[in-house]
Amino acid sequence: MTAPILLGYICAALLFQLAVGIGVALWRRRERAASRPVAANVGAPQVSPAAWPGWREFRVARREFEDRAHTQCSFYLEPADGAPLPPFKPGQFLTFSLPVSAERTITRCYSLSDRPNPTSYRVTIKRISAPRERTDVPPGASSNYFHDRVHEGDVLKLKAPSGHFCIDPDPNVPLVLIAGGIGITPMMSMLRGCLASQPERTVHMYYGLRNSDAHAFKQPLEELARSHPRFHLNVVYSRPGPNDVSGRDYHHAGHVDAELLRRTLPHGRHQFYVCGPAAMMESLVPALSDWGVPEQDIHYEAFGPTSMRSARAAQKAPHPGIATSFEVRFRRSGRTLVWNGQDENLLEFAERNGVKIESGCRSGSCGTCETKLISGTVRYAHTPDHDVAPGHCLLCVGTPESALVLEA
């Protein structure tokens, strides 16, 4: 064999090996690419695969009262398009768009009241009547809309589950779920989700309410307590009725307070989750801190106008070195006003001065009052549940740290 022929064989072998190597590299690259999610519209906001963008239509499959007085009604919602629902984190809420009249559509948030289900969602809504002693205060627009005008077969528009009021995933830390009144709704979602996914985790629930007429989910809670030995249920009636029996209908008389927790909880670390009316939140949350519970183990949620004024005394105080008076300009409304700290937040400040702002939950959860921040800085006492877009702010939970120019 001559030298040129031998050289030709060697070159051919090298070329063959190179071709095989390139082919294997391309195949591996294709496999890796197939295993990754495809990024569409690079540079545009990406929507989580566990949710959907904007509004989606849901049909009311059924409605069911949860209490004897028929003030708390559950609505079971199925997607109108029939597609499976993505999972959510127990404790999250849904945002609804409600056409309460021909001229007015309002946005409201309601907690999911059951564990994740691929076919339907459940929310439980309490009818809010006008207070007897305040004739100038109207009944709840959204709750009465649901109770009086939302029926089986109706279609509602809602946004995907959202919110950060969710249980810590560590199964080794016992949970303490504390609910007052309709605050039981996110706790039902947390409880059922936890018992399904972490059946060995210890869960203590304290449910405070007036009496058996307002006792929502009575039978389901009792059945869960019987079937799960690590679930400990404590029902507390503040005003037991004449037919309410201690030990049968409720376990304690009075209110859910730190003294009751000290007396009934075992020693050791717990994760506390609190949701209830203003009086309960404003007394119990600081009491947990005074008891020595670390701040990272205290979680709470308050929907509606409740501002938790006393929940965090330190957060209530002015920030060191920050002035109390700032000029706030609402550019679209053409108003320039002076903030002097009289109002709890910028939404109340705007409304008191006649500047109309679209709002929903009023607690930093739904994002309806999100407004473009043209200049200045806004401070939040707590991180809002809603993920605020860059260059924007939430007026319902924000206060100025400097002079502001807002798009509103």
Burial of 269 (0-12, 13-18, 19+ CB in 10 A): exposed
Query: pLDDT 10s per residue in the chain (408 long)?
Result: 565 555 555 555 555 555 545 454 444 444 333 333 322 222 333 334 458 888 999 999 999 999 999 999 999 999 999 999 999 999 999 999 999 998 888 888 999 999 999 999 999 999 999 887 777 778 899 999 999 999 999 999 999 998 889 999 999 999 999 999 999 999 999 999 999 999 999 999 999 999 999 999 999 999 999 999 999 999 999 999 999 999 999 999 999 999 999 999 999 999 999 999 988 998 999 999 999 999 999 999 875 544 344 444 434 445 454 557 999 999 999 999 999 988 989 999 999 999 989 887 777 878 889 999 999 999 998 788 788 999 999 999 999 999 999 999
DSSP letter string over 359-396?
-SSSSSSS-TTEEEEEES-EEESS--SS-PPTTEEETT
The amino acid that residue 21 corresponds to is G
What pLDDT shows up at residue 5? 57
Burial of 163 (0-12, 13-18, 19+ CB in 10 A): buried
Burial of 16 (0-12, 13-18, 19+ CB in 10 A): exposed
How far CA 342 is from CA of 307, 383, 404, in Å, comes to 14, 22, 17
What 8-state DSSP symbol labels residue 246? B
The amino acid that residue 110 corresponds to is Y
SS3 of residue 231 by DSSP = strand
What pLDDT shows up at residue 3? 55
What pLDDT shows up at residue 2? 64
**Which residues, including other chains, have CB under 8 Å from residue 37's CB and lie 6 or more apart?**
49
What pLDDT shows up at residue 278? 86
CB atoms within 10 A of CB 347: 24
What pLDDT shows up at residue 303? 55
Does the global pTM surpass 0.75? yes
CATH numbers and ranges of domains, the chain: 56-130+138-162 (2.40.30.10), 175-308 (3.40.50.80), 326-406 (3.10.20.30)
